[in-house]
Amino acid sequence: MSAHPQPVPQGDYVPARRHGTLIFTSGMTPRRDGVLLHHGPVRADAPVDDYRDAVRLACGNALAAAHGMLAPGESLAAILSLTVYVAAEPGFAAHSRIADLASAYLREELGDAGIGSRAAVGVASLPGNAPVEIQLVAAT
């Protein structure tokens, strides 16, 4: 697993909450140490790969938040659900390809356990003008 620091909340919430064997993360944007490193919107004329680093950073933050809920010696058994919010310009239609970048990252980190159900959602804007926001539900 890649080493990602715990994400810094940008408001009155926690990065993740655990209930029994389930871990729900807050939506994570491509921030490092609380600083947004990638800005949106996702452009209709840009190659999807232009957003790879933003997606990987946001997804890494969500995964780090989930890992932060584990007890010593515990691990994530599976990602149950992945939601990828894409702040896209009108005319952008490759939301699922942006979400594929997040799925690929989770597969790299967790193997087949990183692939669960998924939604790719287009939105008008995201906090801080982020291009993507990622939320996970994981099981221990």
Instruction: Give the separation between CA 88 and CA 68, rounded to whole angstroms.
Output: 30
- The model's pTM is 0.94
Helix (H/G/I), strand (E/B), else coil: 58? helix
Domains and CATH numbers, the chain: 16-139 (3.30.1330.40)
Query: Residue 4 — very low, low, confident or very high, per pLDDT cuts 50/70/90?
Result: confident
pLDDT at 2 over 90: no
Q: What would the pLDDT profile of 78-124 be if each residue is shown by its tens digit?
A: 999 999 999 999 999 999 999 999 999 999 999 999 999 999 999 99
